[in-house]
């Protein structure tokens, strides 16, 4: 999570405001859709993280509802664990996409989501 000064609006290029910081509960997730992408946003120890909300196990959109344990979010349906900073699973295995977050001086939360293009 980065903070920026009001004059640094160029920092927000390609970022989308998702909420105010006070709208996030500590140690809990909240679901947002940014540019048609499911995003789970978490506030842990006043730090904000954004991950894909889609569990890769059965493609369920419920990561935001997972519980927090040891710097990770645990999928409530399947028990898979994902690092909040990187989205990776234990042993550095692939997991969830992690998205950059900026919290403004006005305490607005912005997320930058890059859509993956599927090549068939």
pLDDT of residue 63: 96
120 found inside a domain: no
CATH number at residue 75: 2.102.10.10
Q: Which domain holds residue 62?
A: 2-111
Which pLDDT band, with edges at 50, 70 and 90, does 53 fall under? very high
71 found inside a domain: yes
42 found inside a domain: yes
pLDDT of residue 51: 97
87 found inside a domain: yes
What percent of the residues of the chain are helix, what percent strand, and what percent coil, each to the nearest 5?
10, 45, 45
97 and 45 in contact (C-beta within 8 Å)?
A: no
* Structure confidence by residue, pLDDT tens digits, 57-91: 888 899 999 999 999 999 999 899 999 999 999 98
pLDDT of residue 119: 55
116 found inside a domain: no
Picking from 45, 48, 44, 39, the residue whose alpha carbon sits closest to that of residue 20 is 48
70 found inside a domain: yes
118 found inside a domain: no
Can you tell me which residue has the tokens 């978490």?
A: 42
21 found inside a domain: yes
Confidence (pTM) = 0.87
**Structural domain total, the chain:** 1
pLDDT of residue 8: 57
Picking from 42, 65, 45, the residue whose alpha carbon sits closest to that of residue 55 is 65
The set of residues, in sequence order, having a beta carbon less than 8 Å from that of 78 and lying 6+ positions away, is: 55, 57, 58, 60
C-alpha to C-alpha distance for 23 and 113, rounded to whole angstroms: 20
Better-predicted residue by pLDDT, 76 or 3: 76
């Amino acid at each position: 999570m980065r903070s920026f000064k009001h004059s640094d609006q160029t920092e927000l290029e390609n970022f989308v405001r998702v909420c105010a910081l006070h709208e996030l509960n500590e140690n809990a997730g909240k679901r947002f859709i940014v540019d048609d992408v499911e995003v789970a946003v978490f506030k842990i120890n006043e730090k904000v993280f954004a991950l894909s909300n889609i569990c890769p196990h059965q493609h369920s959109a419920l990561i935001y509802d997972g519980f927090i344990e040891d710097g990770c979010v645990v999928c409530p349906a399947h028990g898979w664990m994902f690092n909040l900073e990187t989205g990776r699973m234990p042993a550095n295995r692939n997991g969830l996409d992690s998205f950059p977050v900026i919290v403004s001086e006005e305490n607005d939360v912005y997320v930058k989501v890059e859509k993956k293009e599927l090549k068939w």
